[in-house]
């Protein structure tokens, strides 16, 4: 009876039509059938009962009798059962969620240093793999290691979701050699504070910070504000930053990832906006300029990259919002950047002839989670057009106008599956249901009847998902 129950369990598993596992099921059962039939023909003192499965593959159920040694489980069945279970687990373990929260847009969750980390931890807990960017994971002096989270710079994340780049995890047991580029405009005392961060992570965390360099000239960062209210910026000497970054990439340094630290002007911040920001309202005035710097270096050098601003320390204020509190600690935002870059995946071409076997492309993505009105980013639109699940979180609002309705108007209703979640907790529930293969409308109070689709009119009514 033990063999019968095992075989029945495997047969039930085979009937599940998994996009990733169906071939493994079929191959395993075909091999199992041949292996056990040969044992029976050799007179293995077993009673065999053959049953045709709906897929057309023949399965064998064996019942032991007589010899006590035959009461042990059939080794061929155990071997292939492990293969079946491994194939099913691999499909679930590889469920990939992308989480995006644009920087400098006043996001209710993710608009401050590290305040989106709890949401990222939750989404990672219900996913096999979470791919997100530094704005989500950086907490200034604070950082939380998420084993299955991939730290990918925003420009690279867009290229990945668009299908241009693939992501390659660093080999097990290794870490990236991180190089640090400091702006030549940083004052000596503030520069020394940042150099001490490099020394500290080497001595206390054991990270490989290969070295640092200083640009020949000040980079010249300036702040600005777009009509939407989002923060922007400009750079006077971007070539000075790129020269220093490229030097760290070349042998003998050969850094695998780069941290950028540029001096941000304190006199260009509106004092009223800064006060509101520290009270938990408004937009991060430096976020837009930070994105320009990391995007540019990533685009030019195709290297994992992230930026930490060098800012004047602020006076103590007991009324600071808890969301902004991480930015009040210490003199630097660099620690979380160095930790994130030490584990960041590397970039390679997504084209099949040049793509390493261990790299993943956008086809591996199952879902993307974004703020409610930030659905116009390249990553969201690219994955929506590819038919992926897009979840917009209503509680997380920004100063942007790209709502789910805007996305449907731009790219149509037949592209991907679009769902609105009230919170990240609800978004995690949707991901868990999607990962389990549950028909999402079945989780609501009302489920529509199955529609009839007349032949030749398939385009008139998009299917429910």
> One digit per residue, pLDDT tens: the chain, 465 residues?
444 444 444 444 434 344 444 434 334 434 444 444 444 444 443 334 333 333 333 333 333 334 444 444 566 555 555 544 544 445 557 999 999 999 999 999 999 999 999 999 999 999 999 999 999 999 999 999 999 999 999 999 999 999 999 999 998 888 999 999 999 999 999 999 999 999 999 999 999 999 999 999 999 999 999 999 999 999 999 999 999 999 999 999 999 999 999 999 988 888 888 888 898 888 999 999 999 999 999 999 999 999 999 998 888 988 899 999 999 988 899 999 999 999 999 999 998 788 899 999 999 999 999 999 999 999 999 999 999 999 999 999 999 999 999 999 998 766 778 999 999 999 999 999 999 999 988 988 999 999 888 887 655 555 555
| CA dist., res. 448 & res. 231, Å (int) | 44
Question: Model-level pTM?
Answer: 0.79
216 contact partners, CB below 8 Å, separation of at least 6: 184, 240, 243, 244
Query: Facing residues of 360 across strands?
Result: 167
| CA dist., res. 15 & res. 320, Å (int) | 57
Helix 154-161 to helix 378-385 angle (10° resolution) is: 10
H or E element that contains 189 = helix 188-200
Fold of 170-344: Rossmann fold (3.40.50)
Give the CA dihedral 204, 206, 208, 210, nearest 10 degrees.
40
Q: What is the pLDDT of residue 370?
A: 98
3-class DSSP assignment, residue 202: helix
H or E element that contains 389 = strand 389-393
CATH number of the 94-166+356-445 domain: 3.40.50
Q: What is the pLDDT of residue 146?
A: 95
CB atoms within 10 A of CB 128: 18
| CA dist., res. 399 & res. 358, Å (int) | 39
Joined together, the tokens standing for residue 115 give: 């305040």
Biggest distance spanned by C-alpha atoms of the chain? 90
Q: What is the pLDDT of residue 464?
A: 56
Whether omega for the bond prior to residue 252 falls within 30 degrees of 0, making it cis, is yes
Per DSSP, 47 falls in state E
121 contact partners, CB below 8 Å, separation of at least 6: 144, 146
H or E element that contains 210 = strand 209-214
Is there a common fold for 94-166+356-445 and 170-344? yes
CB atoms within 10 A of CB 233: 21
Helix 22-41 to helix 75-93 angle (10° resolution) is: 180
Instruction: Identify whether the C-beta of residue 101 lies closer than 8 Å to the C-beta of residue 116.
Output: yes
| CA dist., res. 231 & res. 286, Å (int) | 7
Q: What is the pLDDT of residue 33?
A: 44
Q: What is the pLDDT of residue 339?
A: 97
Q: What is the pLDDT of residue 109?
A: 96
CB atoms within 10 A of CB 202: 15
Tokens 């601003």, residue located = 309
CB atoms within 10 A of CB 210: 18
């Amino acid at each position: 009876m033990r063999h019968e129950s095992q075989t029945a369990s495997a047969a039930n598993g085979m009937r599940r039509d998994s996009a990733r596992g169906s071939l493994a099921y079929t191959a395993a059962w075909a091999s199992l059938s041949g292996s056990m039939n040969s044992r029976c023909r050799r007179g293995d003192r077993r009673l065999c009962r053959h049953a045709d499965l709906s897929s057309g593959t023949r399965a064998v159920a064996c019942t032991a009798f007589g010899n006590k040694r035959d009461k042990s489980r059939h080794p061929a069945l155990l071997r292939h059962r492990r293969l079946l279970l491994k194939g099913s687990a691999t499909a679930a373990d590889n469920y990939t969620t992308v989480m995006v929260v644009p920087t400098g847009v006043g996001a209710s969750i993710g608009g401050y240093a590290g305040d989106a980390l709890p949401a990222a931890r939750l989404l990672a807990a219900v996913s096999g793999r979470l791919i997100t960017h530094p704005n989500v994971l950086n907490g200034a002096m604070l950082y939380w290691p998420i084993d299955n989270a991939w730290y990918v710079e925003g420009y690279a994340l867009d290229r990945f979701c668009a299908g241009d780049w693939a992501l390659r995890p660093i080999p097990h047991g290794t870490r990236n050699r991180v190089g640090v580029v400091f702006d030549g405009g940083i004052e000596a005392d503030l520069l020394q504070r940042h150099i001490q961060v490099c020394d500290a992570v080497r001595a206390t965390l054991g990270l490989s910070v290969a070295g640092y360099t200083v640009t020949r000239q000040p980079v010249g960062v300036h702040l600005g504000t777009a009509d939407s209210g989002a923060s922007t910026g400009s750079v006077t000497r971007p070539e000075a930053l790129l020269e220093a970054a490229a030097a760290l990439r070349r042998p003998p340094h050969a850094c695998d990832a780069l941290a950028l630290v540029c001096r941000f002007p304190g006199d260009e911040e509106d004092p009223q906006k800064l006060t509101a920001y520290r009270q938990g309202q408004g937009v991060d005035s430096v976020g837009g300029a930070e994105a320009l710097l990391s995007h540019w270096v990533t685009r030019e050098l195709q290297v994992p990259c992230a930026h930490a601003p060098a800012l004047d320390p602020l006076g103590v204020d007991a009324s600071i919002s808890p969301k902004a509190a991480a930015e009040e600690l210490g003199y630097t935002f660099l620690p979380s950047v160095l930790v994130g870059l030490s584990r960041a995946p590397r970039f390679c071409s997504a084209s099949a002839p040049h793509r390493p076997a261990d790299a993943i492309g956008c086809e591996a993505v199952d879902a993307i989670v974004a703020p409610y009105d930030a659905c116009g980013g390249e990553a969201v639109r690219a994955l929506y057009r590819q038919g992926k699940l897009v979840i917009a979180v209503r509680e997380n609002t920004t100063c942007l106008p790209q709502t789910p309705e805007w996305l449907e108007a731009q790219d149509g209703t037949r592209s991907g599956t679009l769902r609105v979640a009230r919170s990240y907790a609800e978004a995690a529930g949707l991901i868990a249901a999607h990962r389990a293969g549950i028909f999402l409308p079945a989780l609501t109070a009302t489920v529509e009847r199955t529609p009839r689709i007349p032949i030749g009119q398939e385009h008139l009514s998009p299917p429910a998902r």
